[in-house]
Amino acid sequence: MNKDEEKKLKWYKEIYNKPTLWYKLPSEYIDYQDQNFWKVFNFIVERLHIKLEEAYEQIDAVNNLSQIPLEYRTKELCLLTLVSYPTTTLKYIPNEFKTEEICQIAFLANPKSNFKYIPDKFKTEEMCAEAVSANPKNYKFIPEIYRKKYMPKYLKTTQHK
One digit per residue, pLDDT tens: the chain, 161 residues? 899 889 999 999 999 899 888 888 888 889 898 888 999 998 998 988 988 888 888 888 888 899 998 888 888 899 888 888 888 889 999 999 999 999 999 999 999 999 999 999 999 999 999 999 999 999 999 999 888 765 555 555 555 44
Three-state secondary-structure class, residue 85: coil
Residue 109 buriedness (CB in 10 A; 0-12 / 13-18 / 19+): middle
pLDDT of residue 61: 86
Asked whether residue 151 is assigned to any structural domain, the reply reads no
How many distinct structural domains can be found in the chain? 1
Does 119 fall in a domain? no
Has residue 64 been placed in a domain? yes
Burial of 52 (0-12, 13-18, 19+ CB in 10 A): middle
pTM for the full model?
0.73
Q: Is residue 34 part of a domain?
A: yes
In a domain, 77, yes or no: yes
Q: How many CA atoms lie within 13 A of 98 on its CB side?
A: 21
Asked if residue 149 is part of any domain, the answer here is no
Can you list the alpha helix ranges (DSSP code H) found in 18-98?
Answer: 35-48, 52-59, 75-84
Phi/psi of residue 160, nearest 5 degrees: -85, -10
Its domain, for residue 40, covers 3-114
Per-residue pLDDT, 85: 86
Whether 130 maps to a domain, the answer reads no
What confidence score (pLDDT) does residue 93 get? 93
